[in-house]
């Protein structure tokens, strides 16, 4: 269990708690604890799961960590009404084990969100990826009143596509992208509010959402 973030930056005060995990606003203290996972390549997968460019593909571990941190801090600095990215550490048994982000582009106009996540290689395939996504969807639909959530993943990313399929997303076409310079096919997914409602959980708790929504200009 982590204490209150010392800085009163509203996105860092948000928490989403399920019976198994907690999503905690990614403070620098939590990033410090996630750093070894990024340095050791535990945020990656084979086949390559991310489209280019992404810092997690940097070969040199020091450069990888440097750019990963810069990206997160840049996101904090750019958070503004209509365009924001909320970074959460995924905490399991008091240990940060991965990240789950919620991204709102033109959220003030469309009410749509995207999600992004990674989980340490050594604890995959135990349902935690699904639990993380359920938690972030609860924040989006229940907390921020989103109208629709999207996700996309290369067609051979069994984990990410498995989570989307299990949670009621429907296929929303395909697109081309590169990963590590190679061309690959992306599967797009969408989950409307009506599709989410039958999957809505009653055991997820939200904290700090009101102040964060106000800071992001969400009514």
Q: Is 102 in the site for ligand COA (CB under 6 A)?
A: no
State phi, psi for 198 to the nearest 5 degrees. Answer: -65, -20
Among 34, 89, 99, 119, binds ligand COA (CB under 6 A): 119
The residue among 97 and 216 lying less far from ligand COA, judged by its C-beta, is 97
Give the whole-angstrom CA distance, residue 12 versus residue 5: 7
User: Which of the ranges 3-11, 26-34, 63-71, 112-120 carries the binding residues for ligand COA, by CB under 6 A?
Assistant: 112-120
Range 119-154 burial, b when 16+ CB lie within 10 A, else e: bbeebeeeebbebbbbbbbbbbbbbbebebbbbbbb
The residue among 130 and 192 lying less far from ligand COA, judged by its C-beta, is 130
- C-alpha closest to that of 93 among 208, 13, 2: 2
The residue among 127 and 173 lying less far from ligand COA, judged by its C-beta, is 127
The residue among 166 and 215 lying less far from ligand COA, judged by its C-beta, is 166
Among 137, 163, 191, 206, binds ligand COA (CB under 6 A): 163
Among 47, 127, 173, 217, binds ligand COA (CB under 6 A): 127
Give the whole-angstrom CA distance, residue 161 versus residue 205: 26
Q: Is 37 in the site for ligand COA (CB under 6 A)?
A: no
- C-alpha closest to that of 103 among 145, 150, 152, 61: 150
Residue 114 tokens read as 């995207």
In what side-by-side order are the strands of the sheet with 21-25?
170-179, 182-192, 148-154, 112-119, 95-105, 83-92, 21-25, 15-17, 205-207
Binding track, positions 135-154, relative to ligand COA; x by CB under 6 A = ------------------x-
Three-state secondary-structure class, residue 25: strand
The residue among 45 and 216 lying less far from ligand COA, judged by its C-beta, is 45
Q: Is 193 in the site for ligand COA (CB under 6 A)?
A: no
Report which DSSP code applies to 20: S
Q: Is 168 in the site for ligand COA (CB under 6 A)?
A: no
Q: Is 130 in the site for ligand COA (CB under 6 A)?
A: yes
Interacting residues toward ligand COA by CB under 6 A: 45, 49-50, 117-119, 124-130, 153, 157-160, 162-163, 166
């Amino acid at each position: 269990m982590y204490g209150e973030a010392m800085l009163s930056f509203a996105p860092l005060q948000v928490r989403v708690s399920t019976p198994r995990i907690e999503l905690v606003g990614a403070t620098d203290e939590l990033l410090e604890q996630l750093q070894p996972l990024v340095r050791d390549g535990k945020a990656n997968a084979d086949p390559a799961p991310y489209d280019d460019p992404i810092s997690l593909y940097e070969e040199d571990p020091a450069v990888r960590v440097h750019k990963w941190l810069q990206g997160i801090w840049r996101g904090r600095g750019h958070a503004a009404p209509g365009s924001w990215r909320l970074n959460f550490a995924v905490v399991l048994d008091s240990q940060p084990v991965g990240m789950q982000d919620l991204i709102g582009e033109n959220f003030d106009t469309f009410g749509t969100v995207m999600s992004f996540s990674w989980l340490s290689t050594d604890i995959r395939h135990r349902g935690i990826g699904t639990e993380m996504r359920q938690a972030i969807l609860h924040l989006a639909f229940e907390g921020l009143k989103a109208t629709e959530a999207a996700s996309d993943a290369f067609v051979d990313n069994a984990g990410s596509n498995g989570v989307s399929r299990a949670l009621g997303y429907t296929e929303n076409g395909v697109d081309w992208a590169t990963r590590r310079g190679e061309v690959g096919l992306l599967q797009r997914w969408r989950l409307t509010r009506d599709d989410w409602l039958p999957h809505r959980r009653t055991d997820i708790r939200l904290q700090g959402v009101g102040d964060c929504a106000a800071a992001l200009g969400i009514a």
